[in-house]
Chain A
Amino acid sequence: MSIMEYNGGSVIAMVGKGCVAIGSDLRLGNQALTVATNFEKVFPVTDRIYLGMSGLATDVATLREQFRFRVNMYQIKEERDIEPEAFAHLVSSTLYERRFGPYFIEPVIGGLWKTQGGEYKPYIAAADLIGCLNFAKDFVVAGTASEKLFGVAEGLWEPDLEPEDLFETISQTLMNGVDRDAYSGWGAIIHIVTPDKVVTRTLKGRMD
Chain B
Amino acid sequence: MECSFALTGKGYVLIAADTTAARSIVKMKADEDKIKSLGPHLLMAYSGEPGDTVQFAEYVERNIRLYQIRNLYPLRPASAASWVRRALADSLRSRSPYSVNLLLGGYDTATHAPSLYWIDYLGTQAEVPFACHGYGSYFALSLLDRYHDPEASLEEGLATLRRCIDEVAKRLVVAPGKYKVKVVDKDGVREIEL
Measuring CB to CB, which residues of chain A are less than 8 angstroms from any residue of chain B?
7, 28, 30, 33-36, 38-39, 56-58, 61-62, 65, 101
Contact = CB atoms under 8 A, between A and B. Distances in A.
Given A28-B126, A58-B124, A35 B89 contact: no
B95 interface: no
B163 to A, nearest CB: 19
Given A33-B138, A33-B141, A39 B93 contact: no
B54 interface: no
Contacts of B123: 58, 61-62
24 contacts: A28-B124, A28-B126, A33-B137, A34-B141, A35-B118, A35-B128, A36-B127, A38-B127, A38-B128, A39-B126, A56-B122, A57-B122, A57-B126, A58-B85, A58-B122, A58-B123, A58-B124, A61-B89, A61-B123, A61-B125, A62-B86, A62-B89, A62-B123, A65-B86
B185 interface: no
A28 B125 CA distance: 10
A33 B131 CA distance: 12
Given A33-B137, A33-B138, A36-B118, A57 B93 contact: no
Contacts of B18: none
Contacts of B127: 36, 38
Nearest to B128: A36
A134 B89 CA distance: 28
A58 B126 contact: no
Instruction: List the 6 shortest-distance A-B pairs measured between CB atoms, nearest first.
Output: A36-B126, A58-B123, A58-B122, A57-B124, A58-B124, A36-B128
Nearest to A101: B93
Interface of B: 85-86, 88-89, 92-93, 118, 120, 122-128, 131, 137-138, 141
- Mostly, the A contact residues are mixed
Contacts of B88: 58
A61 B90 CA distance: 12
Given A57-B124, A58-B125, 11 more contacts: A35-B118, A35-B131, A36-B118, A38-B126, A57-B126, A58-B85, A58-B88, A58-B89, A61-B89, A62-B86, A65-B86
Contacts of A36: 118, 126-128
B131 A61 contact: no
A30 B124 CA distance: 10
Nearest to A103: B93
Nearest to A6: B122
A55 to B, nearest CB: 11
A39 B131 CA distance: 14
B39 to A, nearest CB: 23
Contacts of A58: 85, 88-89, 92, 120, 122-125
A4 B85 CA distance: 20
A39 B123 CA distance: 14
Contacts of B137: 33
Contacts of B118: 35-36
Nearest to A3: B122
A58 B127 CA distance: 13
